[in-house]
Homo-oligomer: A and B are copies of this chain.
Amino acid sequence: MSTYTPSGAATRSGFSLDTLRYYERIGLLSGVVRSSSGHRVFTDGDLEWLGVLRCLRDTGMPISDMQRYAELARDGEQTLTERLNLLREHAKAVEEHLALLADQYRHLQAKIGWYEGQLP
């Protein structure tokens, strides 16, 4: 199990340093170890968790929901069902968003096709 510097964690997670600090402040990221000098030391476990956050963020979950999920995750096994429900609801929202996006993408392509038909 390796450890990572703040900037290393930023690079690997794809979040900026400021975002990592922000996530810790608001409780999305807890239990990050500190060195004797107070510097953060990220573990593989932290990076794995950041991967989860990235998935949720990239699929458009609001931060308030991520906070709820993080809180449940901290509370251990008895919250499994609730976490599952939360993810299922989110997945449903993502499906709807994907459907809308795909639909509007088709309109966009149609528009592009129309423009192509107008050219010399």
Which A residues are closer than 8 A to B by beta carbons? 52, 54-56, 58-59, 80-81, 83-84, 87-88, 90-91, 94-95, 97-98, 100-102, 104-105, 107-109, 111-112, 115-116, 118-119
Contact = CB atoms under 8 A, between A and B. Distances in A.
A80 B119 contact: yes
Number of copies: 2
Given A55-B104, A58-B101, A59-B104, A112 B94 contact: no
Nearest to A110: B55
Given A55-B104, A58-B104, A104-B58, A112 B98 contact: no
A66 B3 CA distance: 45
Given A55-B104, A59-B104, A98-B98, 14 more contacts: A55-B107, A59-B108, A80-B115, A80-B118, A84-B112, A84-B115, A87-B115, A88-B112, A91-B109, A94-B105, A94-B108, A95-B105, A98-B101, A98-B102
